[in-house]
Structure 1
Amino acid sequence: KELRIASYLAKIAKVRNSPPKDAGVSLLVVKEKTKYEARKTVDFLIAEESKEFHRDPLGDFIIFIANGMIFCQHEKVTIAGKNAKEILDTVLRLNLVSRLDHAAYLGRELMKAEIALRLGKNYFQDRDLNFGIY
C-alpha cells in the first residue's frame, strides 16, 4: 500500500515539477499533518491509576490477533471481529463481565489490538504497542 502511494506522490512531483505538497494523499500513518488546539479547561482533576486489582468473577479473557481478525477468548465463548467496538458490544450483550474496571480494561486492550491490526503491528496483551523509537 505504501509503495503505491509513494509512486503516486512521485508522479505528482514529476508532473508538477515540485514537491508533492497538498496532493490529497499522505504517507503519514501515525502522525498527522495538522495539529489542532486542545480545549481550554478551567477546573480539572489529575487522573490517578488504581493500584488495586480485583478479578472478575465471570472470568478472564485472552486477546490476540490472527488471520486479519481480533479474537477475544473467554472460557464460555471465543468472539472474533475486525474492530474493538463490535467485540466489546458482543461481550457486554452476552454479560461476560460484571465489573466496570474489567470492561474498561477490555476496551483498552481491544482498541490496542485493533490499532495493531490496522498498522500491521504485533499485539501482545498487557504490553504497549511497539512504535520503535517513540
Structure 2
Amino acid sequence: MSKAERDALDNKLSQRFIHLDPAGYFIIYIDHEQQRIWMKHYPNAINEKGLAVDPQTGEPIPTKGKVLREPDVVLSGRTAKELCIELFEKERKFVTMFDHAAYLGRELMRAQFCLDAGIDYIQD
C-alpha cells in the first residue's frame, strides 16, 4: 500500500462515528520553543444524543471555533511516553475507554514526531 493510499485510509477512518469518553477530552498542542507537548483536559458529560455537553450548563460543546472553557488539568511532557505514563499509570482516571486511550497514544506520537521534526502539529 502506498503512502497516498495509507493517508486516504486514515482520512476515511477519521470520519467514522466514535463514542465520546464521559471522562472528558484533551486538546493537544506542541511548543517548539519549550520543546514540550502540552495537553489540556476538559470534563464533559454525554447527553442522550451522544453529544459532549458542558457539565455545568448542559449545552453542547462546539467542535469548531473557539470554546470558552477552562481546562481542569494541564499536563506537559517532553515525550509521548512521558505523557502516557502520566495519563494511564497515575491514580486519576482521565480516560475510561480503550479507543480513547489508543487515540491519545497515536496523537501524542504524532505530536512528538512534529516536535522532533520542527513542523506544525494539528490534532486529528
After TM superposition, the score normalised by the length of structure 1 is: 0.55
Deviations 1:11-65 (A, max 9, x none): xxxxxxxxxxxxxxxxxxxxxxxxxxxxxxxxxxxxxx59330000000000000
Query: Structure 2 matches for 1:42-121, cutoff 5 A?
Result: 51-66=16-31, 67-75=34-42, 76-92=72-88, 93=90, 94-121=92-119
3-state SS of paired residue (1:102): helix
SS at match of 1:125: coil
Q: Which one has the largest radius of gyration?
A: 1
Give the letter aligned to residue 123 of structure 1: Y
Q: Per-residue deviation at 1:89? A: 1.2
**Structure 2 counterpart SS, 1:90:** helix
In structure 1, how many angstroms separate the alpha carbons of the residues matched to 2:27 and 2:101? 13
Following TM superposition, where does structure 1 have runs of at least 4 consecutive aligned residues deviating by more than 6 angstroms? none
Deviations 1:63-105 (A, max 9, x none): 0001210001102211100100110111112210000000000
Of structures 1 and 2, the one scoring higher in RCO (CA 8 A, sep 6+) is: 2
SS in 2 for 1:85: helix
Structure 1: runs of 5 or more not aligned: 1-48, 127-134
Paired residues, number: 78
2: CA distance, partners of 1:95 / 1:86: 16
Q: Describe the SS at the equivalent of 2:123.
A: coil
User: Greater share of strand residues, 1 or 2?
Assistant: 2
Question: Using the alignment, how far apart are the partners of 2:114 and 2:73 within structure 1?
Answer: 23
Percent sequence identity over aligned pairs: 44
In 2, Cα distance between equivalents of 1:121 and 1:89: 25
Distance 2:76 2:113 in 1: 15
- TM-score of the two chains, using structure 2 as the length reference: 0.59
